[in-house]
A and B are shown apart, each in its own frame.
Chain A
Amino acid sequence: MHIPDGYLSPQTCAVMYGATVPFWVVAGRRVRKVVKNRYVPLLALGAAYCFLVMMFNVPIPDGTTAHAVGGVLVAVLLGPWAAVIAVSTALLIQAFFFGDGGVLAYGANCVNMAIVMPFVGYAVYRALARGTSLTSARRPLAAGFGAYVGINAAALCAAVEFGLQPDLFYKTSASGAKVPLYAPFHLSQTVPTMLLAHLLVAGVVDLVLTAGVVAYLQRANLPVLRINHDAVPETDADLPAPRKIGLRGALIGMVGTLLLVPLGLLASGTAFGEDGPRDLDLEKYGLRAVPAGLSKYSDWWSHSLLPGYDFKDGDHPSVGYYASALVGTILIAAVVIGSFKLAHALRRRDDAPDAPDALDEDRGAAVEQPAAAR
């Protein structure tokens, strides 16, 4: 994914450099605040580590090997802001010293691999690992999946940067056709190509490596995992009791959704595949008559209460729409509440005598433990 010089126009490169500068400034400040003077050796070793992780060949089936990028791994281990600096440094050493990635394209490479990749990947990791302990089996999977999403987001950015070139930067030849000056492929070609390669191979390699490293550190070197997870409880027993979503919160959410009902009135036309036989544009599909089965079955149920989300006479379409929303909501609520009641009644009949006591004991223990741990 390292873009060499010559593929991107200097204008694109300038924009990309401009986009990275604020991230570097903020990253520098934040890292310095968190680890104080220790940040220089920590970031230096982090960058060296990041450089070497890109060298690790991961064996994949079929006997071939592929190398990982590791941006999300560094974000999980050191935090996303430290990852911005560590990956940027590794990319600079690669660009200047080993000719991997261009010098003018360095800004673009940083946007893709040092900013988009760690932040997107880390967000996915945080979302999936939320509420788990440090040694939970869900963390390696969350980190691996974060790496998978992160590398694909980075590949998408690179594909967009490539794909914009032929439409923005070209010269006209003698015959009046466009001659591309930089990367010649269009968005419709770069996005599928890049994503296919990363969804199938590169993403999987990063997933395997990231998940493997986090799982290894859980087993062998938990203190190192603590660098970026100082407030996370170590085992599942130390976790605070999960907060229940209150009935009030749920009600607020549902009423809010109900208030958005008028948005549906703004939609025009019909959705594909939902039009009746009389709305069908036969010529468009090369047909001369409505297919027999369609005309036979399309109208066999004609007893609906509110046909087309409206009253039968169709005089007041807006009122009909609101009424449909209300009726629909009440019906769905009735079905959901009814099935819950049914399930509850069935369960109570199964283990009737001591179930309530055990439940109370569990809850009491879960609330008490974190206080004791502190």
Chain B
Amino acid sequence: MTTRTVPSGRVAPDWLVQSEVGLCPCGCIGKRKKGSFLAKTLDGASHLLRQAMSSEDVAGQPGLLQRLDARVKLVTLVGLLVVAAFVRTIPVLIGVYALTIVLAWASRLSIAFFVKRVWLFVPIFTGIVVLPATLNLITPGTIVVPLGTWFGHQLGVTSEGLHGAAIIVMRVAVSISLVVLLTLTTPWNRLLAGLRALFVPKMFVLVLGMAYRYLFYLLGSVSDMYTARKSRTVRTDTEVASGRRFVAASAGALFGKAHAMSEEVYLAMVSRGYNGDTRTLRPARLSGLDGLWVAACLGLGLLVIGCDRAFG
């Protein structure tokens, strides 16, 4: 694994980081088109690259969380994730969510981006999934919003259903925020080194690091194949059958490339003295700030659990 100095300034060009207005991922701007599979896969590829590059930029900013050791950050934020999973009252969950916003601010993340990233996803997926569960058919209880009768049975939204839905939506929001905080403020290679602190075997960390590296190499191949196909396509809508054949062939060709690459990588490793031993980055020494942060997180965890039990 190579060490890479974290860039202090922004390296990704603006045109790459900014998403185009017409390509809003949620489809809220303009009419949603049934895009062709080519455009969708190409969009997915560029979105992946955009996300990876912009998060490397954010990870290079001088903020609170960026200054912490990756191992410490990983263990404490996963710990807070577990605490949040045990919380069963809404006010406490809202409190924890507010705290993640404060942390995002202290780490110089764009608050608008941070809030949007959570609240664009949560209402669309969790909200729609949980909505039917507020009905008395699924969660029985006191009906607060009657919706008439259905086959002679009372139908309506129950207070228990609303309560449960609010808990799960808030919990999902808090969990996503905590993971976003972790991944946006930690460069990938530091995060990998941090995984060693969670007793992940060296070999797995090495595979993970190389997988991430060659992911972008293979992504380039996919983009090339799809761009080539798109430039050869004249009609707007492609045939389903020939499209399927193309997808299968490109996925097969990609596997051939991946396998050939793995052979080359292996030979390159052997020629550089690889003998089956795996080494990872030597972890940096912990600073006083790390100790302070651990103490703060421990206190916070206990406070959250205490408040939760006090609220009921």
Contact = CB atoms under 8 A, between A and B. Distances in A.
Interface of A: 4-7, 9-10, 13, 24, 28, 32, 36-38, 40-49, 51-53, 55-61, 63-65, 70, 73, 77, 85, 89-90, 92-93, 95-99, 102-104, 166, 171, 173, 175, 177-186, 189, 208-209, 211-217, 220-221, 224, 227
B164 A209 contact: no
A69 to B, nearest CB: 12
Interface in B243-260: 243-245, 247-256, 258-259
Interface string B211-222: 111110111001
A260 B21 CA distance: 71
Nearest to B168: A6
13 contacts: A5-B175, A6-B172, A7-B172, A41-B210, A52-B215, A56-B251, A59-B36, A89-B207, A97-B55, A97-B183, A183-B168, A217-B256, A220-B256
B258 A5 contact: no
Nearest to B252: A216
A38 B266 contact: yes
Contacts of B158: 177
A175 B34 contact: no
Contact of A224 (B35, B256, B269): B256
A44 B210 contact: yes
A209 B85 contact: no
Sorted nearest first, the 8 A-B pairs with minimum C-beta distance are: A212-B248, A5-B175, A44-B210, A177-B141, A216-B252, A184-B133, A6-B172, A47-B211
Contacts of B259: 42, 45, 224, 227
B251 A213 contact: yes
B205 to A, nearest CB: 10
Contacts of B8: none
A301 B92 CA distance: 75
A217 B208 contact: no
Contact of A28 (B203, B211, B237): B203
- Counting chain B residues whose Cβ lies within 8 A of the other chain, the interface size class is 35 or more
B163 interface: yes
A60 B244 CA distance: 8
B252 A37 contact: no
Nearest to A24: B204
Contacts of B126: 4, 6
A5 B188 contact: no
B119 interface: no
Interface in B64-106: 78, 81-82, 85-86, 88
B17 interface: no
Contacts of A32: 203
A212 B169 CA distance: 39
Contacts of A51: 211, 215
B161 interface: yes
Interface of B: 34-37, 40-41, 44-45, 48, 51-52, 55, 78, 81-82, 85-86, 88, 117, 121, 125-126, 130, 132-133, 138-142, 158-161, 163-165, 167-168, 171-172, 174-176, 179-180, 182-183, 188, 191, 201, 203-204, 206-215, 217-219, 222, 237-238, 240, 243-245, 247-256, 258-259, 261-263, 265-266, 269-270, 274-276, 278, 312
A43 B179 CA distance: 26
A99 B258 contact: no
Contacts of B44: 55, 57
A52 B254 contact: yes
B303 to A, nearest CB: 18
Contacts of B245: 212
Contacts of A213: 248, 251-252, 255
A310 to B, nearest CB: 46
A184 B163 CA distance: 11
A180 B207 contact: no
Contact of B208 (A49, A93, A180, A215): A93
A59 B243 contact: yes
A217 B255 contact: yes
B240 A44 contact: no
Contacts of B138: 184-186, 189
Given A4-B126, A44-B209, 12 more contacts: A40-B278, A46-B258, A59-B37, A65-B36, A89-B208, A177-B160, A178-B160, A213-B248, A214-B252, A215-B248, A217-B256, A221-B253
Contacts of B159: 173, 175
A156 to B, nearest CB: 18
B223 to A, nearest CB: 11
Contacts of B240: 59-61
A77 B211 contact: no
